[in-house]
Every structure is written in structure tokens, then in C-alpha cells.
Amino acid sequence: MSARDRAGRLHLPTLAALAVVLVGWTFLSRRYGAFVLPGPWSIVLGLVEIVRSGEIWPHAAASLGRIAAGFGGAVAVSLVMGLGAFVSRTARGIVQDVLAILNSTSVFVWIVVSLVWFGLSNWAPIFTTFMITLPVVASTLVEGVTSVDRRLLEMGDVYRLSGPQKFTAIVIPSTLPYLVAGMKVGFGLALKVSVVAEIFGVTSGIGYAMNYSREILATRMVFVWALVMILIMVATDKLLFDPISRRLTRWR
């Protein structure tokens, strides 16, 4: 059974579990009131509302724009790091140590630091997203680069392939799946992190909209914006990353 079949099939036990959750949710919502926990149906209606009013688009676009800048920058820097790790052993050691340190730094550290450095501006969430996704994307890429089969490179030497020929025929195809896997995880992380960073200092974006809804006591809208986030995440996974990785591994 291929990944596609599994993704396309509605799994019966999952549907049953979902039904149980929805019933329980509705019950709790009735018990404690919509202000604490809005019912599932009212959240769906809320989503329809912000789509109809168009309110969803500027906020989603603002968040995605910041992710594109921060995450895109992280991917670009990762590529440079991966290339360095491939070319030199020393560079690989340095890159791995730097990534280990970045990997163990909390999101909140970067949010606070970026507020200090960039103030209440777009750059705070962009920088935070960049710093958090960089180690994730770069370390999978470095791992991919180091796992290039040396025996294939030796074959390339025997047949006197040039450096660029070996790079395009051997190195890139063997590391691309790692890059895509790293980008998939990194993008998910970027979405989660940038939304948190948007609570501070900016006046657009999903995180801002969520926090604003909380402040005006519109609990229902907090859940609606959370749903928007989940939908964006699922859509990019299914429509962007999964087709790309399927295409990259079609020779398997």
C-alpha cells in the first residue's frame, strides 16, 4: 500500500474516535459555557464568517509572509552550511557544534532577544522564525550531506566525472530527500513559532488576531484562528511537501 492510498482513505476507527471527541466537546461546551469552550459547530461557522468577510486573508498573508522571510532565510543559510559541511571536515565540525547550541535554545529566548534588537516590528517574528527553524533544516541537510555514499563518489572519480558533474549527479540527488524532510518539519515549526512571536508588537498575523480575540473576550475567535493555522499546516503538507517527496523518490 503506497502513501497515497493511506492518505486518501478515510480510516473508520479514526472517524469513530473523532465522533466521540466531538460529542464530548459539545457536552463540555454546554456544561461550562461557550465563553470557556465554544462548541465545534460555532467554530466552523466562525471560520465561514472570516472567510466571507475577508478578514482571514490579510492576517494569513501577513503570517505567511513573515514565515516566507524567516524560514526562507533559514533554508538559504542551511544550504550554505550543508555545502560547507560537504566540502570541508573542519567546517562540518563547526556547523554541527553551532547547530547543537542553536537546537538547545528556547523559542522564548529568541522572542525576547529579537524584541530588544528589533523592537515592535515585523523583524521580531521573522528573526525568531529564522533562529528556530535554522537548526532543524540545517542539521537534517548536514546529515544528508554526510550520508552521501562514498563508493558512488569513488565511482565518479574512476570515470573521471568533473566536480560539478559529481555534484549534480551524485550529491544533490542523495541529499534532496533530506532537505525536503527537513523543510517539512521546519515549515511546521515556523508556523507554530511565528504565531507565538506575533503576540508581541505587531498588528497583523494569525498570532496577533488570536491574542486580540482573547483580549476582547471573543474566545470563539481564538479557536477559529487556531483552526486556520491547522488548515494551513495540513494543506502545505498534503499539497506541497508530500507530492515533492513522492516525486523525488519515484525511483524507489
Partner 1 sequence: MAMKLEVRGIGKDFVIPVIDSVSFGVDAGEFVCLLGPNGCGKTTLLRIVGGIEPASRGSVLLDGLPVLADRRHQRHVGVVFQEDRLLPWLSLRDNVTLVLRPLGLDAAQREARAAHYLRLAGLQGFEDYYPGRVSGGMRQRAAIARALAIEPDVLLMDEPFGALDAQNRRIMQQEVRRIWAETRRTILFVTHSIEEAVAIGTTLIMLSARPSRIRERIRNDGGRERGKLIDDLNAMIMEEVERQQGDAS
CA distance to 108, 171, 182, per residue, from 67 (Å): 17, 28, 15
Rounded to a whole number of angstroms, the minimum distance from the CB of residue 2 to partner 1 is 15
Choose which of 19, 28, 155, 235 interacts with partner 1 (CB under 8 A).
155
Q: Can residue 1 be called a binding residue for partner 1 (CB under 8 A)? A: no
**Shortest spacing between CB 150 and partner 1, in angstroms:** 11
165 touching partner 1, by CB under 8 A: yes
Is 229 among the residues that bind partner 1 (CB under 8 A)?
no
Task: Give me 97's grid cell.
Answer: 557544534
> Taking the CA atoms of the chain, what radius of gyration do you get in angstroms?
22
Q: SS3 of 21, please? A: helix
SS (H, E, C) 25-73: HHHHHHHHCCCCCCCHHHHHHHHHHHHHHCCHHHHHHHHHHHHHHHHHH
Site track 115-154 with partner 1 (rule: CB under 8 A), x = hit? ------------------------------------xx-x
For residue 252, give the amino acid letter: R
Judged by beta carbon, residue 31 or residue 250, the one nearer partner 1 is 250
Q: Does 2 bind partner 1 (CB under 8 A)?
A: no
> Can you read off the three cell numbers belonging to residue 220?
470563539
Binding mask 13-42 for partner 1 (x = CB under 8 A): ------------------------------
Work out how close the CB of 61 gets to partner 1 at its nearest, in angstroms, rounded to a whole number. Answer: 37
Q: How far is CA 63 from the centre of its chain?
A: 12
CB nearer to partner 1: pick between 157 and 215: 157
Establish if 161 lies at the interface with partner 1 (CB under 8 A).
yes
Angle at which helix 206-215 crosses helix 56-87, to 10 degrees, equals 130
Q: Note the residues at the interface with partner 1 (CB under 8 A).
A: 151-152, 154-155, 157-162, 165, 169-170, 173-174, 251-252
